[in-house]
Amino acid sequence: MNWQKTKKIVGNIGSTFLYIFLAVILFNVVTSKMAGEPPSIFGYQMKAVLSGSMEPGIKTGSIILIKNTDAGDQFAKGDVITFITEEKILVTHRIVEVQDGGSHFITKGDNNNGPDLEPVHVNNIVGKYTDITIPYVGYIFKITESQLGGALLLFLPGILLVGYGLLSIWRTIRIAESYKNAEAETPNK
């Protein structure tokens, strides 16, 4: 088998796996939105970081991957956790001190001058940062949380698919017409 055929087969297999992966993620996000829950894949969640409190390690506008917490999870000084505040705001900060045998934590943003005012109770921890960050995608992710963004998330892939289908049909018709014109111009023997 020559190199071009091998390259094409590998490319097709890679594209197929990528499309399947994206379809699974899209399905998960859509079903999570319909259920009113945050998107979660295999026990991991994507969270948008929209403040600079964790820079330079986590840039503003990034998406981070966090591992969902389970009862009995242990956290230590230096862990980066995502927790929910009393005001129902999600925050991602680093643990700087463990208190009360691991039931409360003092946290601080890496870019902040001092620690957070309120200790975090272990039950308010949503997840632990996995050191996976995708820069700048958080802005797009945040837009999808609005009603208009959610609608775009549902309808945009369909519109793109219809557009791609129409483009494919137009190309096929154009190729058929050029083939027909080439036959018409070729004299019969």
Q: pTM for the whole thing?
A: 0.61
- For 99-120, the pLDDT digits (tens) are 988 889 999 999 999 999 999 9
Residue 51 falls in the annotated catalytic set: yes
Check residue 122 and report its DSSP letter: G
The C-alpha atoms of residue 97 and residue 132 are separated, in whole angstroms, by: 23
Nearest to 58 by CA among 88, 25, 82: 82
- For 7-60, the pLDDT digits (tens) are 778 878 877 887 787 777 777 767 766 666 666 667 788 788 888 888 888 888
Q: Which residues have a Cβ under 8 Å from the Cβ of 85 and sit 6 or more positions away?
A: 91, 118, 124
Average pLDDT, the chain: 81
Total Cβ atoms within 10 A of residue 54: 24
E strand residue ranges, the chain: 40-41, 44-49, 62-68, 80-84, 90-99, 104-108, 120-121, 125-134
pLDDT of residue 153: 67
Residue 145 has pLDDT above 70, yes or no: no
Domain positions in the chain? 1-37, 39-145, 147-189
Confidence of residue 159 (pLDDT cuts 50, 70, 90): confident
DSSP 3-state of 130: strand
- Between 80 and 157, whose confidence is greater? 80
Percent of the chain with pLDDT over 70: 82
| Across 53-57, 92-96, 132-136, 166-170, least confident range | 132-136
Region 141-148 average pLDDT: 68
pLDDT of residue 96: 94
Active-site choice (32, 51, 53, 178): 51
Q: Does domain 39-145 have CATH number 3.30.930.10?
A: no
